[in-house]
Amino acid sequence: MSSWKDYIRKVVPYTPGEQPKTDGIIKLNTNENPYPPSPLVGLKMKEMSDSGLRKYPDATSEKLIRRLADYHNVGYDQVFAGVGSDDVLGMIFMTFFNSDKKVLFPDISYSFYPVWAELLNIPYEQIPLDSDYRINEKDYNIPNGGIVIANPNAPTGILLEKDKIINIIENNQDSIVVIDEAYIDFAPEGSSCLDLIDKYENVIVVRTFSKSRSLAGLRVGYAISRPENIKYINDVKYSYNSYTLNTCSIEVGSVSIDDEAYFRNTVNKIVSTREAYTERLKELGFNVLPSSTNFVFASHKSVKAIEIFNYLKSKNIFVRYFNVPKIDNFLRITIGTDEEMEKLCNALTEIL
């Protein structure tokens, strides 16, 4: 006799980085921004009235989408917003990956991609990075049902040059190519693929407010593509949950885009801290992969990553360790303030 227990959807979920509940921790484990969001954010939060919360949010998130469209100089019908880029990516997987061909993404990349594929019964193949932890664009010239590239990649931090992404797009005109640009604001100017949307109808670029805009807690992400692609994603969203973004995310997210000077300033500070502390880590005996993000991926020449991870944790410094083949001797260290990075290096000298 079969029971309801035989029909439970069993999945191996994505494991988010630890969010410690205690104070006094140097938290370099989930790629959050060490600086607070723009002061405009706090002002808007105070100004928001409770009457705004009595009503359902605007299901179209129009205010936020108009600001994003203006900011990126694209049409209002070219932007889709969701509850962090996780929500946006999940919707994209649901919308576009319905063929019986495999969706391709690198074997070392954002670990949520295979989880969505499993959840949604999407066939997929993880394409190995080369021995330098880089994506080889030629590996993507095989039949597929879609391609997802995080650029810069995570957790390696390595940026794939734009001409190589263009190769992937041109060689895969029959597939949707999703470029997850969660960390692109920390990469050199001109690295983004946003401008490719005009030229190619099969490209979707995904962005987030969680890293460069210091708003991981607000949960806002978005996609930019051709209007027809955005319509397909919206149709899926409205078939699943019409009120994804809440009123606070729409209002606060909208004003946060206005403070360009603040945004540039904090991004520049993180990039210069990253460059300075990459050198420090190298001096301490780490191999640090070249990062275009707000984190570095590093392995030590003599001390095992897990040992360093545990030692740092005992000192209340949290970094990320992935117990996964190929990268199980690496640590992913989010770039904090100079002061936090100094404390990290001091603690490292005690164990190395």
Tell me the per-residue interface mask from 237 to 266 with ligand PMP, x by CB under 6 A, - otherwise.
------------------------------
The pair of structure tokens assigned to 25 is 């921790």
Among 84, 157, 253, 336, which residue interacts with ligand PMP (rule: CB under 6 A)?
Answer: 84
* Eight-class DSSP state of 76: G
Binding residue for ligand PMP (CB under 6 A) from 145, 221, 253, 336? 221
Looking at residue 137, what DSSP letter applies? G
Does 216 bind ligand PMP (CB under 6 A)? Our answer is: yes
Long-range contacts of 59-67 (CB under 8 A, 24+ apart): 59/238, 59/242, 59/243, 61/245, 61/250, 63/250, 63/251, 63/254, 64/220, 64/245, 64/249, 64/250, 64/253, 64/254, 65/222, 67/253, 67/254, 67/257, 67/258
Residue whose C-beta lies closest to ligand PMP: 84
Q: Which of residues 147-166 bind ligand PMP (CB under 6 A)?
A: 150, 154
Residue 237 burial (CB < 10 Å; 0-12/13-18/19+)? buried
Alpha carbon of 289 to those of 91, 150, 282, 298: distances in Å?
Answer: 31, 16, 10, 6
Question: To the nearest whole angstrom, how small is the minimum distance from the Cβ of residue 230 to ligand PMP?
Answer: 18
Nearer to ligand PMP, 154 or 284 (CB): 154
User: Looking at 80-88, 119-127, 260-268, 322-330, which segment touches ligand PMP (CB under 6 A)?
Assistant: 80-88
* 86 near ligand PMP, rule: CB under 6 A: yes
Is 296 among the residues that bind ligand PMP (CB under 6 A)?
A: no
Closest by alpha carbon to 233, among 88, 86, 26, 59?
Answer: 88
Shortest Å, Cβ 266 to ligand PMP = 17
Residues 192-211 that bind ligand PMP (CB under 6 A): 208, 210
Chain residues in the site for ligand PMP (CB under 6 A): 84-86, 110, 150, 154, 180, 182, 208, 210, 216, 221
